Structure 1
Amino acid sequence: MADETSRAQAARPGGDPIFGKIIRKEIPANVIFEDEQCIAFHDISPQAPVHFLVVPKKPIVQLSEAQDSDESTRALLAFQAWYVCRFGLNLHLYKLLGHLMIVGKKCAADLGLTKGFRMVVNEGPEGGQSVYHVHLHVLGGRQLGWPPG
């Protein structure tokens, strides 16, 4: 865990994160799922027996830096718009995170995680973010401890 903490503390936004290279098929990955919005693949440094990432194809550096201009549609229900505004997420990001979570759930089922799993998004250095391209970690295959940090 110290290695992960060191990498997160040293990581900075900018450049072309490794996920862009995976999305463009410039480097290999053990892909589980792919559609027009995201790609899911096994983590190269697993922290659980099953550990994969679900990554949006659109590069968003951090959740906290997603722009309202990223919004892809304005046709959400009024309640969803209220919820999004109330809790500080933009509409596009709300839909994208929902899609990532549904893909993560489906991949977890396909990989046999029938007794449970954990989904995590790391934000910033103190949150453990070591790659500055938003992504969802899905971990399972054993009893996961709490608290996670």
Structure 2
Amino acid sequence: MAGEPQADCLFCKIVTGDIPATIVRETDTTVAFRDINPQAPTHVLVIPKVHYPDAAALAAADPQAMVDVLREAGVVAAEEKIDGHGYRIVFNTGAGAGQTVWHAHAHVLGGRGLEWPPG
């Protein structure tokens, strides 16, 4: 059921501590940890502790959890000292957009130029 931990979800297992991660922040509703394949000098994932497959599903079902993720993304950026120069918050939704873990998550990227369009 959506919102409930999924036994086969990598990020649910990070939330429960069953899989280790380099956690940089944790709140009652979110966990932030370093991406294992960073695309920028700072690349931290912020996830809700509740399980929803993508950002759209999370926002529709639990708007407060989405707000918590976005708030924590800003806190991570400040703590990582990338807020002064600029940073990007990215939600990949669907395989065609590069989503590989089906648990909503925000990528906080910074520490290098992030011109648009990416690539």
Superposition deviation, residue 110 in structure 1: 0.6
Residue 110 of structure 1: aligned partner: 79
1:51 is paired with a residue of what secondary structure?
strand
Greater radius of gyration (CA): 1
Find out whether 1:96 has 2:65 as its counterpart: yes
Evaluate the alpha carbon distance shift between residue 117 and residue 98 of structure 1 in structure 2; reply closer, same or farther with a 3 A threshold: same
Report the structure, 1 or 2, having the larger strand content.
2
Structure 2 distance, partners of 1:15, 1:117, is: 33
Superposition deviation, residue 105 in structure 1: 0.5
Structure 1 distance, partners of 2:52, 2:74, is: 21
Structure 2 distance, partners of 1:65, 1:95, is: 12
State TM-score, norm by structure 2. 0.86
Structure 2 distance, partners of 1:91, 1:63, is: 10
Question: Aligned runs of 1:15-34 on 2, under 5 Å?
Answer: 16-34=8-26
Structure 2: runs of 5+ lacking an equivalent: 1-5
2:70 is paired with a residue of what secondary structure?
helix
Residue 104 of structure 2: aligned partner: 134
Question: Aligned runs of 1:3-18 on 2, under 5 Å?
Answer: 16-18=8-10
Contact 2:87-2:108 at 8 Å conserved across structures: yes
Contact 2:40-2:112 at 8 Å conserved across structures: yes
Residue 3 of structure 2: aligned partner: none
Residue 86 of structure 1: aligned partner: none
Structure 2 distance, partners of 1:103, 1:16, is: 25
Residue 117 of structure 2: aligned partner: 147
Superposition deviation, residue 49 in structure 1: 0.3
Superposed CA RMSD in Å reads 1.7
Aligned residues: 113
Question: Aligned runs of 1:23-102 on 2, under 5 Å?
Answer: 23-66=15-58, 90=60, 92=62, 94-102=63-71
Report 1 or 2 for greater relative contact order, CA contacts < 8 Å, sequence distance ≥ 6. 1
Structure 1: runs of 5+ lacking an equivalent: 1-13, 67-88
Report the structure, 1 or 2, having the larger helix content.
1
**134-143 or 15-24: bigger deviation:** 15-24
1:90 is paired with a residue of what secondary structure?
helix
Evaluate the alpha carbon distance shift between residue 43 and residue 135 of structure 1 in structure 2; reply closer, same or farther with a 3 A threshold: same
Structure 1 distance, partners of 2:37, 2:88, is: 16
Percent of matched pairs sharing the same residue:
39
